């Protein structure tokens, strides 16, 4: 999801995961080394061969004669499943950058071995998808209507006729909930969720959450602003709807809130600011959208940005509006914010 896609998303009625919108080859089998790193591949290979059932967040129950083997998923979902040892046949969504490297949403997957059905918004190669003989399609959902993320509206009927679909909600819930749902999905697909690796990953996440809670409690005066940059607009996200910001707020983080009027205009996600008014909301720490579709802090040239107290103090860190939903990938998000708050100077 990017700021540049605002018009497409308005037509679909979907807004950004972080409120930051104004917006084929088969995956090669991993070797033993990859399996040991993921900690769940052996379990996945040994998945039960009997009937498979999973009730998704739309309330839809998918029933198959056996555990899905040919899985196609949104890139971020595939990356989360990969962390649990579950491999997919194909992906859609931001997977590779222009130079061929892995997009941030691809996580630890080897993108050179992935069948990419579409790397950008609106792209989805139906012919390639059919050729994979998919058992199930899995994506996230950023609205209450159950719209599958990155499944093009204009071709969704053709796509969804080829295989059952599973949707996991990342709309107006806190981070732990979709993390639990992804873990449950991975378990149903054969992941050994009781493995030492996964148990330890969950424990580290809980420790990081407690660290952030303590940091927020000790430094309630530190204001944290969630921003996203495009060529003409700077987006300030509200704390509602996004799984990360809702969780940060629940842990006590002092999130800078856009005006209620501005939030209403965007469906509750964000406020559009011109670069001339980027200083509208004082902040001590700025967390910036890390998706490759947005302009990163080091590349922002506007003088008004460079004059912001948080920027001058070096108190700008990355934000991941679309977290890879594994405990391993979400733990650093909490730790980095906790560290930023712990060390922040009061500059706002």
The burial of 46, by beta-carbon neighbours within 10 Å (0-12 exposed, 13-18 middle, 19 or more buried), is given as exposed
Instruction: Check pLDDT > 90 for residue 338.
Output: yes
Tokens standing for 83?
């962390």
- Give the Cα separation of 319 and 325 in Å (integer): 14
The confidence score (pLDDT) of residue 50 equals: 76
| Residue 165 DSSP one-character state | E
Alpha helices in 189-326 (DSSP H): 196-218, 243-250, 260-265, 303-306, 309-312
| Residue 25 DSSP one-character state | P
139, 196, 213, 104: CA torsion to nearest 10: -40
The confidence score (pLDDT) of residue 44 equals: 44
The confidence score (pLDDT) of residue 256 equals: 98
| HEC assignment per residue over 84-124 | CCCCCCEEECCCECCCCCECHHHCCCCHHHCCEEECCCCCC
**pLDDT tens, 257-282?**
999 998 998 889 999 999 999 999 99
Instruction: Check pLDDT > 80 for residue 161.
Output: yes
- Specify whether the CB–CB gap between 90 and 129 falls below 8 A: yes
Q: Is the alpha carbon torsion for 294, 297, 303, 305 positive or negative? A: positive
Q: Which region among 38-47, 192-201, 306-315, 328-337 has the lowest average model confidence (pLDDT)?
A: 38-47
Give first-to-last CA distance, the chain, whole Å. 30
- Specify whether the CB–CB gap between 135 and 189 falls below 8 A: no
Cβ neighbours around 30 below 10 Å, total: 18
């Amino acid at each position: 999801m990017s700021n540049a896609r605002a018009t497409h998303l308005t037509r679909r009625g979907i807004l950004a995961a972080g409120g930051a919108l104004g917006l084929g080859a088969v995956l090669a089998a991993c070797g033993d080394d990859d399996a040991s790193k993921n900690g769940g591949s052996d379990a996945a290979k040994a998945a039960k061969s009997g009937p498979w059932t999973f009730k998704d967040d739309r309330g839809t129950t998918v029933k198959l004669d056996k555990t899905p083997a040919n899985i196609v998923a949104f890139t971020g979902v595939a990356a989360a499943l990969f962390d649990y040892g579950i491999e997919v046949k194909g992906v859609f969504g931001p997977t590779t950058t222009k130079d061929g490297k892995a997009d941030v949403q691809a996580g630890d997957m080897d993108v050179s071995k992935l069948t990419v059905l579409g790397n950008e918004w609106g792209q989805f190669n139906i012919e390639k998808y059919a050729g994979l003989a998919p058992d199930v399609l899995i994506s996230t959902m950023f609205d209450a209507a159950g719209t599958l993320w990155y499944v093009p509206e204009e071709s969704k009927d053709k796509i969804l006729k080829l295989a059952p679909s599973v949707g996991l909600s990342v709309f107006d819930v806190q981070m732990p909930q979709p993390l639990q749902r992804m873990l449950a999905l991975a378990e149903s697909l054969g992941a050994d969720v009781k493995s030492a690796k996964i148990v330890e990953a969950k424990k580290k996440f809980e420790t990081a959450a407690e660290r952030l809670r303590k940091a927020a409690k000790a430094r309630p005066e530190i204001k944290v602003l969630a921003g996203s940059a495009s060529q003409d607009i700077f987006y300030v996200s509200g704390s509602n709807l996004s799984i990360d910001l809702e969780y940060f707020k629940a842990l006590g983080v002092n999130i800078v809130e856009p005006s209620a009027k501005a939030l209403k205009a965007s469906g509750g996600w964000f406020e559009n600011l011109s670069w001339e008014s980027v200083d509208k909301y004082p902040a001590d720490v700025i967390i910036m959208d890390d998706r490759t579709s947005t302009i990163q802090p080091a590349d922002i040239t506007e003088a008004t940005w460079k004059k912001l107290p948080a920027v001058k103090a070096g108190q700008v860190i990355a934000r991941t509006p679309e977290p890879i939903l594994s405990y391993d990938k979400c733990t650093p998000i909490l730790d980095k914010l906790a560290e930023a708050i712990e060390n922040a100077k009061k500059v706002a």
